[in-house]
Structure 1
């Protein structure tokens, strides 16, 4: 829950009884918000009256309309003192409810360059390099950096490997997951990949445990299925 300012003590003096009821339902959802249809399911008021109450509450700055990436056709409302949860906004990858593909591509390019420059990089190393580069106006969490790097792995531009603790892995603890570029490329170009790296198996960190009848199997692998369909 992200309360941004104190709830007004005089709210009951500025709204009608119906508006108070609608506001209480909306406020009870905190940073998740609620649609007009769902408000209707929770209280015994006519749809037209609920719509009128919502319009009035918005004009009084007691509630606000928010974007919900899971239900774009329905308007969602939230009490004014809350900020939307990442669960409904999509977090850093979404702007006004739409996936920010340009921003994601910039970060993918920067992550690839940092990995290429470091030769072998851990998530922590990549995240630190991105932070120092100031490419992002907001500070990315380790999880967000991992999402970008995993996307590069699925694109066959980066491969995940395990440190052996020797050679190029000398500064990385044995067994720790780290990342290497799958090939060279020019700015905005495509990576040069070998035949094995062109399929998901070539960059899969679990390939040594993959067997036809095992828990990890090409039969049940979603990435392998998508590659075959492609």
Structure 2
């Protein structure tokens, strides 16, 4: 299975069903009806039960016609990744939809754990090296790395990052717009590498205060409600609230 699936697309020109196909045999009668039906389902395909229901053909007719279409190289069988006993028939002009194959993370109907773990390791090292990254930065780093032959989509990379967050390898934080977040818009989601204990590598675990200016303010100890330095007069705090 391809590691990256896009929208279903035609791989070659569909044969003229009224004349001869690429194998030299003409499609007529039940074969043509079944082939048209299979093609109409595009990347989702169709199982034999639905074929019989929609065409009203006897099982023997469906079985014989499918065998002939396979011999002529016009259709293929795809097993559903969640139900290996259920077969779907697709025209060779289409790639199977992710609803059948399981999507990007499945290969031959099985979850490709090795591939997923490799991506997670690469992603974690990127974040560890940069110390702080946005999802856009991670996507760009994957593109520039050239480590994988197939380009990963943003959706795939987001899934990998979310898996790292759930594994407590990466921590999701919000930019305060100050300090290390200086060049990142306030409120923007960022990612930091974690130690095994869940804290950030080389620094304590970040709490809720880290996402607001107060958490990194060097004058926080002098800040009082009615003092010279106070939340009411702090331009940074006001800016954060306005966001």
Would the TM-score normalized by the shorter structure come out above 0.5? Answer: yes
- Any gaps of 5 or more consecutive residues in structure 1? 184-190, 195-201, 205-230
CA contact (8 A) 1:157 1:181 kept: yes
What's the TM-score, normalizing by structure 1?
0.76
For residues 132-172 of structure 1, give each alpha carbon's deviation from its aligned partner in whole angstroms, at most 9, with x where no partner exists.
22222210011110000001111111111111111111221
Query: Per the alignment, do residues 11 and 140 of structure 1 end up closer, same or farther by CA in structure 2, a change over 3 Å counting?
Result: farther
Task: Could you list the structure 1 runs, at least 4 aligned residues long, displaced by more than 3 angstroms after superposition.
Answer: 10-13
3-state SS of 1:91 partner: coil
Count residues in correspondence: 190
Is residue 3 from structure 1 mapped to residue 15 from structure 2 by the alignment?
Answer: no
Of residues 77, 98, 104, the one that matches 2:89 is 77
- 1:197 corresponds in structure 2 to none
Is residue 119 from structure 1 mapped to residue 131 from structure 2 by the alignment?
Answer: yes
Q: How far apart are the structure 1 equivalents of 2:71 and 2:109?
A: 23
Alignment of 1:21-60 (within 5 A): 21-60=33-72
**Larger gyration radius, structure 1 or structure 2:** 2
Q: How far apart are the structure 1 equivalents of 2:152 and 2:97?
A: 17
Q: How far apart are the structure 2 equivalents of 1:67 and 1:4?
A: 20
Superposition RMSD in Å: 2.0
CA contact (8 A) 1:64 1:78 kept: yes
CA contact (8 A) 1:153 1:203 kept: no
- Any gaps of 5 or more consecutive residues in structure 2? 1-7, 21-25, 200-205, 209-243
- 1:214 corresponds in structure 2 to none
